[in-house]
């Protein structure tokens, strides 16, 4: 398959981080985050536009200050199983924490989604950003970075081992011979590692794509390294063209250093395109959206998420940014560290830091269809991305991108005009992993 841009859709429901006013949009149903038909409608639109995947995020801790979508939303794998029955080609990527799930349970759930969708499942591996999640799972505090990422790596490796429990020819289902299973093609895992002890085997066979696709969203050193070792898709922050180039090159270099083909890891940057009839109209709408979301109390609460849902309202807003470095280690360490570093370097008050969390920043993917297509092509050619994880304010905005920008990308040969395969791996151009036990048997026979 020739190299083309991959597109994924990231539905927001009634509003994720920083989107404090989205729930007020008259085009967004107030129950969108728990309405499966909302997701099915978006998934169908994405599939009609030949997108690669639908991506659903998750977290398992809230308080009353959290973004609207976080307060009341569907569990990803349950949701994606429903969406699977209304789509045929669209990949279905769900977020699940390796910190607060056992790998056997995760392996079984994602393998089930992979069968329900006939080979379109993907697992976005996270180590959990919200420190308060620990208290929902019987722990007094969140695990430290080293432990979380060590556990994540082992969790993926265990899941992949479990997905190989059955070889492809394990079920002859021969009525005449009375043989349903060939026992020699069933393999226990017998894993005993630093974080997990899992016997196996898994009680579900391999899907048409062999194994679910592994996604990751690492920004820290540990996250980047985990991605390079096991990820096949990455959700990258984007930012400036220069920072995106650095991230892309670093991930590809690390991947090669682990003996993997850099083409077998697809980097998706975040993009929130706003398409208008003209550049001026789109830029005006971009500013309007900022004003709709610009709420100081919500920005202050959003700042607290990087520090374990810390309540910054207990501090004097006009005093220097408080010393909260100890809270960053078990929360969003990379992002929190940057906030602290900037506050110290520039002598910022707490109010100034909170205002900067959701400050107006012009997106490069805003304008008339031709302008947005030009920018996407520029970023693609500059070595910043393999794909874009797209988020839209509402269904009308999605429609303007699908109707205006996608045809231009297709005309330029940058995006598919038909699906290449029925599986997520096939459409991403990723190889089907051969069962490890089949490989071992062949090497012995050779």
Domain annotation covers residue 116: yes
Quick one: which of 434, 378, 446 has its CA closest to 206?
434
Among 357, 385, 411, residue at a domain's last position: 357
Q: 400 with 386, same domain?
A: yes
The predicted pLDDT at position 1 comes to 45
Query: Does the residue 195 lie in any domain?
Result: yes
Q: How many CB atoms are closer than 10 A to CB 273?
A: 26
Tell whether 343 and 391 lie within a shared domain: no
The pTM of this model reads: 0.94
- Which of 142, 129, 162, 158 has the alpha carbon at shortest distance from 230? 158
CA 48 – CA 302 distance, rounded (Å): 35
Q: What is the pLDDT of residue 39?
A: 97
- pLDDT given at position 5: 98
113/187 same-domain check? yes
Do 303 and 259 fall into the same domain? no
Contact in structure between 82 and 36 (CB atoms under 8 Å)? yes
Phi, psi for residue 231 in degrees, rounded to 5: -75, 150
Look over the chain and give the mean of its residue pLDDT values, rounded to a whole number. 94
For residue 167, the model assigns a pLDDT of 97
H, E, C per residue of 340-388: HHHHHHHCCEHHHHHHHHCCCCCCCCEECHHHHHHHHHHHHHCCCCCEE
Distance from C-alpha of 209 to C-alpha of 434, rounded to nearest angstrom: 10
User: Residues 122, 210: one domain?
Assistant: yes
Position 407 in a domain:
yes
**Are 431 and 368 contained in the same domain?**
yes
DSSP state of 132: G
Query: How far apart, in whole angstroms, are the C-alpha atoms of residue 358 and residue 192?
Result: 45
Count of domains observed in the chain: 2
- CATH (domain of 149): 3.20.20.30
Enumerate long-range contacts of 408-417, CB under 8 Å, 24 or more apart.
408/369, 408/370, 408/373, 409/5, 409/373, 409/376, 409/377, 412/373, 412/377, 413/4, 414/4, 414/5, 414/376, 414/377, 414/380, 415/4, 415/5, 415/7, 415/50, 416/4, 416/50, 417/50
Residue 103 near residue 196 (C-beta atoms within 8 A): yes
**What is the 8-class DSSP label of residue 433?**
P
Dihedral sign for Cα atoms in the order 86, 92, 98, 99: negative
d(CA 364, CA 375): 7
Q: Is residue 287 in some structural domain?
A: no
- The DSSP bridge partners found for residue 254 are none
Closest CA to 124 of 98, 88, 143, 145: 98
Residues 152 and 124 sit within 8 Å (Cβ to Cβ): no
Does 230 fall in a domain? yes
The predicted pLDDT at position 99 comes to 93
Which tokens hold the place of 417? Answer: 């005009």
Whether the CB-CB separation of 202 and 162 falls below 8 Å is answered with yes
Q: Which of 269, 265, 218 is nearest to 244 (CA)?
A: 269
Could you say which of 357, 372, 407 is where a domain stops? Answer: 357
Please tell me whether residues 177 and 303 are part of one structural domain. no
Last residue of a domain, one of 357, 375, 392: 357
Please check whether residue 336 lies inside any domain of the structure. Answer: yes
Model pLDDT, residue 309: 84
> 142-199, pLDDT tens digit by residue?
888 889 999 999 999 999 999 999 999 999 999 999 999 999 999 999 999 999 999 9
Q: Which residues are within 8 A (CB) of 156 and not within 5 positions of it... i.e. 6 or more apart? A: 98, 103, 125, 214, 230
> Do residues 26 and 92 share a domain?
yes
pLDDT on residue 120: 98
> Which candidate, 226, 177, 233, places its Cα nearest to that of 55?
233
At residue 389, the 3 state secondary structure works out as strand
Q: Are 111 and 204 in contact (CB under 8 A)?
A: yes
Domain range enclosing 330: 295-357
Alpha-carbon distance 55 to 37, whole Å?
16
Do the domain assignments include residue 446? no
Q: Which of 355, 441, 433, 443 is nearest to 159 (CA)?
A: 433
Q: Could you tell me if 235 and 95 lie in one domain?
A: yes
User: How distant is the alpha carbon of residue 135 from its chain centre?
Assistant: 24
Tell me, yes or no, whether 51 and 91 share the same domain.
yes
The SS3 call for residue 7 is strand
Inside any domain, residue 223: yes
> Residue 331: its pLDDT value, please?
62
Specify whether 119 is located in the same domain as 226.
yes
Neighbours of 402 (CB within 10 A): 21
What's residue 330's pLDDT?
A: 60
Q: pLDDT in tens for each of the 446 residues of the chain? A: 457 999 999 999 999 999 999 999 999 999 999 999 999 999 999 999 999 999 999 999 999 999 999 999 999 999 999 999 999 999 999 999 999 999 999 999 999 999 999 999 999 999 987 778 888 999 888 888 889 999 999 999 999 999 999 999 999 999 999 999 999 999 999 999 999 999 999 999 999 999 999 999 978 888 999 999 999 999 998 889 999 999 999 999 999 999 999 999 999 999 999 999 999 999 999 999 999 999 999 999 999 988 888 999 999 999 999 999 888 766 677 788 889 999 999 999 999 999 998 889 899 999 999 999 999 999 999 999 999 999 999 999 999 999 999 999 999 999 999 999 999 999 999 999 999 999 999 888 77
Q: Kindly state whether residues 30 and 102 are assigned to the same domain.
A: yes
pLDDT value of residue 123: 98
């Amino acid at each position: 398959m020739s190299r083309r841009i991959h597109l994924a859709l990231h539905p927001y429901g009634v509003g994720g981080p920083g989107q404090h006013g989205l729930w007020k949009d008259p085009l967004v149903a107030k129950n969108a985050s728990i309405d499966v038909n909302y997701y099915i409608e978006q998934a169908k639109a994405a599939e009609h536009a030949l997108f690669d995947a639908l991506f659903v995020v998750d977290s398992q801790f809230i308080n009353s200050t959290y973004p609207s979508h976080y307060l009341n939303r569907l569990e990803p794998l349950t949701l994606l199983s429903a969406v699977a029955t209304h789509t045929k080609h669209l990949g279905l990527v769900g977020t699940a924490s390796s910190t607060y799930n056992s790998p056997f349970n995760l392996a079984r759930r994602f393998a089930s989604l992979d069968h329900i969708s006939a080979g379109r499942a993907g697992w976005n591996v996270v180590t959990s950003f919200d420190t308060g999640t620990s208290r929902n799972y019987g722990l007094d505090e969140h695990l430290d970075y080293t432990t979380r990422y060590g556990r994540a790596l082992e969790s993926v490796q265990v899941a992949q081992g479990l997905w190989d429990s059955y070889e492809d020819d394990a079920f002859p289902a021969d009525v005449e011979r009375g043989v349903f299973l060939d026992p020699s093609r069933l393999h226990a895992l017998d894993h005993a590692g630093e974080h997990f002890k899992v016997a196996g085997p898994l009680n579900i066979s391999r899907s048409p794509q062999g194994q679910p696709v592994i996604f990751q969203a690492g920004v820290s050193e540990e996250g980047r390294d985990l991605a390079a070792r096991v990820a096949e898709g990455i959700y990258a922050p984007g930012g400036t063209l220069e920072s995106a180039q650095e991230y892309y090159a670093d991930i590809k270099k690390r991947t090669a250093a682990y003996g993997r083909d850099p083409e077998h890891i697809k980097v998706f940057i975040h993009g929130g395109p706003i398409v208008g009839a003209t550049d001026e109209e789109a830029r005006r709408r971009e500013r309007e959206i900022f004003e709709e979301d610009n709420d100081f109390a919500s920005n202050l609460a959003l700042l607290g998420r990087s520090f374990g849902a810390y309540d910054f309202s207990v501090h004097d807003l006009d005093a220097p940014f408080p010393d909260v470095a100890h809270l960053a280690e078990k929360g969003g360490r990379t992002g929190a560290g940057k906030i602290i570093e900037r506050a110290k370097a520039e002598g910022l008050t707490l109010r100034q830091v909170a205002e900067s969390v959701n400050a107006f920043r012009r997106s490069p993917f805003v304008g008339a269809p031709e302008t947005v297509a030009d920018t996407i092509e520029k970023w693609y050619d500059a070595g910043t991305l393999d794909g874009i994880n797209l988020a839209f304010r509402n269904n009308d905005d999605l429609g303007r991108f699908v109707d205006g920008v996608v045809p231009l990308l297709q005309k330029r040969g940058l995006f598919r005009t038909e699906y290449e395969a029925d599986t997520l791996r096939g459409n991403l151009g990723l190889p089907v992993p051969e069962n490890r036990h089949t490989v071992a048997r062949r090497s012995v026979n050779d």
